[in-house]
Amino acid sequence: MTNVNVEMVKAKADDIRANVEKVHRYSSLPDDEFFADERNLYSVQHLLLLAIEASVSICLHLTSRLAGTAPASYSECFGALLDAGIIDEDLSQRLTSMVRFRNLLVHQYWEVDPRRVVLYARSQTRDFTDFLEAVGRLLEGETLI
Protein backbone atom coordinates (compact mmCIF):
# COMPACT_ATOMS: atom_id res chain seq x y z
CA MET A 1 0.00 0.00 0.00
CA THR A 2 3.00 2.29 0.04
CA ASN A 3 2.08 3.55 -3.42
CA VAL A 4 -1.37 4.65 -2.28
CA ASN A 5 -1.75 8.17 -0.94
CA VAL A 6 -3.90 7.20 2.03
CA GLU A 7 -4.31 10.79 3.19
CA MET A 8 -5.72 11.82 -0.20
CA VAL A 9 -8.08 8.84 -0.18
CA LYS A 10 -9.22 9.76 3.34
CA ALA A 11 -9.79 13.38 2.32
CA LYS A 12 -11.89 12.30 -0.67
CA ALA A 13 -13.79 9.87 1.57
CA ASP A 14 -14.53 12.76 3.95
CA ASP A 15 -15.84 14.76 0.98
CA ILE A 16 -18.06 11.88 -0.09
CA ARG A 17 -19.49 11.42 3.40
CA ALA A 18 -20.14 15.14 3.88
CA ASN A 19 -21.86 15.51 0.52
CA VAL A 20 -23.97 12.37 0.95
CA GLU A 21 -25.06 13.59 4.38
CA LYS A 22 -26.26 16.85 2.79
CA VAL A 23 -27.99 14.90 0.00
CA HIS A 24 -29.87 12.94 2.66
CA ARG A 25 -30.86 16.13 4.44
CA TYR A 26 -32.31 17.71 1.29
CA SER A 27 -33.87 14.57 -0.17
CA SER A 28 -35.59 13.65 3.07
CA LEU A 29 -37.94 16.58 2.62
CA PRO A 30 -41.47 15.62 1.53
CA ASP A 31 -41.89 15.90 -2.24
CA ASP A 32 -44.13 18.96 -2.09
CA GLU A 33 -41.63 20.81 0.08
CA PHE A 34 -38.61 19.58 -1.91
CA PHE A 35 -40.02 20.64 -5.28
CA ALA A 36 -41.44 23.94 -3.95
CA ASP A 37 -37.92 25.37 -4.00
CA GLU A 38 -35.83 24.62 -7.08
CA ARG A 39 -32.66 25.23 -5.07
CA ASN A 40 -33.24 21.88 -3.36
CA LEU A 41 -33.01 20.03 -6.67
CA TYR A 42 -29.98 22.00 -7.84
CA SER A 43 -28.26 21.44 -4.51
CA VAL A 44 -28.86 17.70 -4.59
CA GLN A 45 -27.62 17.47 -8.18
CA HIS A 46 -24.47 19.37 -7.34
CA LEU A 47 -23.79 17.43 -4.14
CA LEU A 48 -24.25 14.13 -5.98
CA LEU A 49 -21.82 15.29 -8.66
CA LEU A 50 -19.25 16.18 -6.02
CA ALA A 51 -19.62 12.80 -4.31
CA ILE A 52 -19.39 10.94 -7.62
CA GLU A 53 -16.33 12.94 -8.70
CA ALA A 54 -14.61 12.17 -5.39
CA SER A 55 -15.42 8.47 -5.83
CA VAL A 56 -13.98 8.48 -9.32
CA SER A 57 -10.90 10.29 -8.06
CA ILE A 58 -10.31 7.53 -5.51
CA CYS A 59 -10.93 4.95 -8.20
CA LEU A 60 -8.47 6.52 -10.63
CA HIS A 61 -5.83 6.79 -7.92
CA LEU A 62 -6.23 3.15 -6.88
CA THR A 63 -6.22 1.81 -10.42
CA SER A 64 -3.09 3.73 -11.31
CA ARG A 65 -1.26 2.81 -8.11
CA LEU A 66 -2.41 -0.77 -7.55
CA ALA A 67 -3.60 -2.11 -10.88
CA GLY A 68 -1.07 -0.29 -13.03
CA THR A 69 -3.73 0.90 -15.42
CA ALA A 70 -5.23 4.17 -16.51
CA PRO A 71 -8.87 3.69 -17.51
CA ALA A 72 -9.84 5.54 -20.66
CA SER A 73 -13.09 6.76 -19.13
CA TYR A 74 -14.86 7.15 -15.82
CA SER A 75 -17.12 4.25 -16.79
CA GLU A 76 -14.14 1.93 -17.17
CA CYS A 77 -12.61 2.86 -13.83
CA PHE A 78 -14.79 0.72 -11.61
CA GLY A 79 -14.43 -2.19 -14.04
CA ALA A 80 -10.69 -1.91 -13.53
CA LEU A 81 -11.18 -2.15 -9.76
CA LEU A 82 -13.27 -5.26 -10.35
CA ASP A 83 -10.55 -6.76 -12.55
CA ALA A 84 -8.00 -6.02 -9.82
CA GLY A 85 -10.18 -7.79 -7.23
CA ILE A 86 -10.69 -4.61 -5.20
CA ILE A 87 -14.50 -4.54 -5.53
CA ASP A 88 -17.02 -7.21 -6.45
CA GLU A 89 -19.09 -7.38 -9.62
CA ASP A 90 -22.30 -6.09 -8.08
CA LEU A 91 -20.61 -3.00 -6.66
CA SER A 92 -18.72 -2.43 -9.91
CA GLN A 93 -21.99 -2.44 -11.83
CA ARG A 94 -23.67 -0.09 -9.35
CA LEU A 95 -20.75 2.34 -9.43
CA THR A 96 -20.62 2.23 -13.22
CA SER A 97 -24.34 3.11 -13.23
CA MET A 98 -23.51 5.96 -10.88
CA VAL A 99 -21.00 7.29 -13.42
CA ARG A 100 -23.64 7.05 -16.15
CA PHE A 101 -25.96 9.08 -13.93
CA ARG A 102 -23.18 11.64 -13.50
CA ASN A 103 -22.72 11.80 -17.26
CA LEU A 104 -26.42 12.48 -17.68
CA LEU A 105 -26.29 15.27 -15.11
CA VAL A 106 -23.24 16.84 -16.73
CA HIS A 107 -23.73 16.26 -20.43
CA GLN A 108 -27.51 15.99 -20.87
CA TYR A 109 -28.76 18.02 -17.95
CA TRP A 110 -31.75 19.30 -19.93
CA GLU A 111 -33.04 15.71 -20.15
CA VAL A 112 -32.77 14.98 -16.43
CA ASP A 113 -36.07 14.13 -14.81
CA PRO A 114 -36.11 15.87 -11.40
CA ARG A 115 -37.98 12.92 -9.90
CA ARG A 116 -35.18 10.61 -11.04
CA VAL A 117 -32.66 12.79 -9.20
CA VAL A 118 -34.70 12.57 -6.00
CA LEU A 119 -35.19 8.82 -6.41
CA TYR A 120 -31.45 8.37 -6.88
CA ALA A 121 -30.73 10.56 -3.86
CA ARG A 122 -33.13 8.55 -1.72
CA SER A 123 -32.25 5.06 -2.87
CA GLN A 124 -28.75 4.84 -4.34
CA THR A 125 -26.47 6.64 -1.92
CA ARG A 126 -25.66 3.34 -0.20
CA ASP A 127 -23.36 2.75 -3.20
CA PHE A 128 -21.01 5.40 -1.81
CA THR A 129 -20.89 3.73 1.60
CA ASP A 130 -20.31 0.31 0.05
CA PHE A 131 -17.47 1.75 -2.03
CA LEU A 132 -15.83 3.37 0.99
CA GLU A 133 -16.14 0.12 2.95
CA ALA A 134 -14.42 -1.79 0.14
CA VAL A 135 -11.64 0.78 -0.09
CA GLY A 136 -11.23 0.73 3.70
CA ARG A 137 -10.80 -3.06 3.61
CA LEU A 138 -8.24 -2.68 0.86
CA LEU A 139 -6.28 -0.18 2.91
CA GLU A 140 -5.96 -2.73 5.70
CA GLY A 141 -8.65 -1.56 8.04
CA GLU A 142 -8.50 2.17 7.40
CA THR A 143 -11.81 3.65 8.50
CA LEU A 144 -13.29 5.60 5.62
CA ILE A 145 -16.97 5.57 6.55
Q: Inform me whether the pLDDT recorded for 145 exceeds 80.
A: no
Please state, as a whole number, how many other Cβ atoms lie within 10 Å of the Cβ of residue 115.
Answer: 11
What does the pLDDT read at residue 143?
Answer: 54
CA dist list (Å): 108 to 53, 74, 102, 111: 17, 16, 10, 6
Q: What is the mean pLDDT of residues 103-110?
A: 83
The answer to whether the predicted template modeling score (pTM) of the entire model surpasses 0.85 is: yes
* CATH number 1.10.3720.10 is the correct assignment for the domain at 6-138: no
The rounded distance, in Å, linking the Cα atoms of 60 and 73 is 10
Residue 55 confidence (pLDDT) = 96
Region at 113 (left for phi over 0; alpha for psi -120 to 50; beta for the rest):
beta
